[in-house]
Structure 1
Amino acid sequence: MSSLALSSPVEQQIVLHQFTPRHSVQARAMLGWSREDFARESGVDAVTIQRFEGQHEVNDETRLTLAFRLEAEGLVFFPGFAPGWGMSVRGGVAVSTAPAAKGIISRFLDSTAVSIDPKTPQPNGV
């Protein structure tokens, strides 16, 4: 999501909780962006980005602007983890920016497929 106008208050609160100063530094490194590059791309002053990345307070709108700009490049953010590549929408077509890894849910379902197969005998005659 790259527009504050398109995001709901709930989405904004989620982003504010998930996007940290460390994420900003890591995401810039992943993109090969300097602070000045990020400032140009986001429309946020480089000094403000430096303040945010230095663990100083910035207003919520600025923080959302930074997060949404990085998300527009295909990055996703989760508390306690480095940024990762998600989906990027460019030219109206969703394009994966990295190979899709099998998620934990998919791995779990694959590992239990045999135990829920109706052809497999179940305990107690079920």
Structure 2
Amino acid sequence: MITRQQVKMARAALGWGVRELAEKAGVTANTVSRFENGADAYGETLGRIQRALETAGIVFIPEGQPSPDGGAGVRLKAGA
């Protein structure tokens, strides 16, 4: 599952604000803000957020990839 830090990094990479992500994910801006600030979110909500970001060209990198000491992160797909 994606982390709140990854969501923040992904928005920054895309130049999106909370409202733009919320609109594209079909959730409220308050939901995105609450999740980024430490509140829990339902799996379906996180799935919507993740799909919206992936559709825009974000690739989520799990913790420990590509090296064992690497933290979770994000990157843009080539050409995104």
TM-score (norm 1): 0.53
Q: What whole-Å deviation, never above 9, does each CA across 1:47-83 have from its counterpart, x for those lacking one? A: 0001111121010000010001100011111222321
Alignment map for 1:44-59 (pairs within 5 Å): 44-59=27-42
Displacement of 1:40 in angstroms is: 1.3
Identity %: 35
What letter matches 2:75 in structure 1?
Answer: G
Contact 2:10-2:53 at 8 Å conserved across structures = yes
Higher RCO (CA 8 Å, separation ≥ 6 residues)? 2
Match of 1:116 in 2: none
Looking at structure 2, the residues matched to 74 and 31 of structure 1 have their Cα atoms a distance apart, in angstroms, of 8
Q: Is the 8 A contact 2:9 2:74 kept in 1?
A: yes
Q: Which stretch shifts more, 74-83 or 32-41?
A: 74-83
Structure 2 counterpart of 1:58, one-letter code: A
Q: Does 1:97 align with 2:79?
A: yes
Match for residue 38 of structure 1 among 21, 25, 44: 21
Report Cα offsets for 1:79-105 as digits up to 9, x if no partner: 22321123xxxxxxxxx426xxxxxxx
- Specify the alignment match of 1:84 in structure 2: 75
Q: CA RMSD in A?
A: 1.3
In 1: Cα distance, 2:79 partner to 2:57 partner: 7
AA in 2 matched with 1:23: Q
Mark the runs of 5 or more structure 2 residues left unpaired by the alignment: 63-70
- TM-score, structure 2 normalization: 0.81
Aligned residues: 72
The one-letter amino acid of 1:22's match is: Q
